Amino acid sequence: MPLAHLHRIDPEANMSRFYCIDVAATLFGDVSVLRTWGRIGTHGRTSIETCASVEEAERAASHTLRQKMRRGYLPAGQMLPPDLAE
């Protein structure tokens, strides 16, 4: 289960994006921050950042989460469909 699943929808700009952040252990004892993003309805792109400790990975994940929230992304459950947003 992802740490955060965010959406940013703006019908006027034809924008319908998602951003997913997850923290997972690797097979070698490290911890990775997985970031997946793209247009809603696609597989998107994925980035993996490997960290030496859980604390470092959580710090990187929370930094990305704060950054995306400042840019207008909201948790997926809080987004209203475009026809109900008005």
Alpha carbon distance 41, 79 (integer Å): 15
Alpha carbon distance 79, 39 (integer Å): 15
Tokens representing 85 are: 């947003």
Tens digit of pLDDT for each residue in 25-72? 999 989 999 999 999 999 999 999 999 999 999 999 999 999 999 999
The confidence band for 3, taking pLDDT boundaries of 50, 70 and 90, is confident
